[in-house]
Amino acid sequence: MQFRPLGRSGLQVSPLCFGGNVFGWTVDEPTTFSLLDAWVDAGFNFIDTADVYSRWAPGHMGGESEAMIGQWLKRSGKRDRIVLATKVGKDMGDGKVGLGSDYIRRAVDDSLRRLHTDVIDLYQSHDDDAGTPLEETLGTYADLIREGKVRAIGASNHSAKRLAEALDTSERLGVPRYESLQPLYNLYDRDVFEKELRPLCLEKGVGVINFYALAAGFLTGKYRSAADVDKSPRGAKVVQTYLNDRGLRILAELDQVAERYEVTPGQVAIAWQMAQPGITAPIASASSLDQLQELVQAASLKLDADALESLSQASAEAA
């Protein structure tokens, strides 16, 4: 496994990150434990979650994913084999939202308790909070790093303008900066990252751990018509967002490249992302050992220049 540096944080991460949004939602505890064991035993070390996962599910309060990962860490003893990332800032209910100092301090302690760990390797601002001064947020993170509760910080769902402001603020204050960005990026969702965010991340040396690497399953080829909508809870959104002429063109090219390499379309989609400038580790999830094995194999797939270019052309957005 060739690890990659995450920004300038000093953290070294596997070239693919396991997304923990499924834990405690569509994946039960025994399956979660087997997936995480298999992930680490295959040589990967990067796991991403958030305090809000999976508050959207009926009867859930948030914290389910962190709690399940925490139970796995407690039972497995594999804490020193992973880089553990979580997030704060999305609405947890009862006024628990945002990036104010008091709330971050309460939230980080809650996450540490659920995760059964003394330190979070990468603590990320899940959403931008324009109502809280960057000085307050970044100063609080600096304190948490000094206290040993957090090793490095990152940003998620930030515009290029706001990320640049945050980086400038850290430099001005002399405090730790956002070392990673978690943006939406995949073969279909390219425009915002490539035009606005990637140039900034490359210039500043910020690591990129993009989410929706498989476009909610669309890039696996699972959804090819409206009739496929009932295949998973994500189906309706996939059909609305991706199932159009451009989406079908992308699937057709994925099929062709996959056939040439004798792999699956999803593996090709991930390999294309891993080869893109500025990308550190795409985030993808799996709900079965078979799906996880596909991710493991995708991490070692190297596409040639012709395959990369044909995929880029097929997925190009209209000017």
Whether residue 235 is predicted with pLDDT greater than 80 in this model: the reply is no
Answer whether 82's CB lies under 8 Å from 70's CB. no
Q: What is the average pLDDT score of the chain?
A: 95
Q: CA-based diameter of the chain, in Å?
A: 55
Q: Compute the residue count for the chain.
A: 319
Convert the pLDDT of each residue in 79-98 to its tens digit.
999 999 999 999 999 999 99
- Percent of the chain with pLDDT strictly greater than 90: 91
Q: Does pLDDT of 134 surpass 70? A: yes
Span 255-277, mean pLDDT? Answer: 97
pLDDT number for residue 225: 79
Task: Determine which one of 53, 178, 185, 242 is catalytic.
Answer: 53
Determine the 3-state secondary structure of 316 from DSSP. Answer: coil
Check residue 233 and give its pLDDT: 62
Q: What is the pLDDT of residue 126?
A: 98
Q: What is the pLDDT of residue 236?
A: 67
Beta strands in the chain (DSSP E): 4-5, 12-13, 17-19, 46-48, 83-88, 120-125, 150-156, 178-182, 207-208, 283-284
Number of helices and strands in the chain (H, E) = 12, 10
Q: What is the pTM of this model?
A: 0.95
Query: Tens of pLDDT along 158-173?
Result: 999 999 999 999 999 9
What is the percent of the chain where pLDDT is above 70?
97
Determine how β-strand 4-5 pairs with β-strand 17-19. Answer: unpaired
- Average pLDDT for 292-299: 95
User: Is residue 53 among the annotated active site residues?
Assistant: yes
Instruction: Report residue 7 as tokens.
Output: 């920004």
Q: What is the torsional sign of CA 287, 293, 297, 299?
A: positive
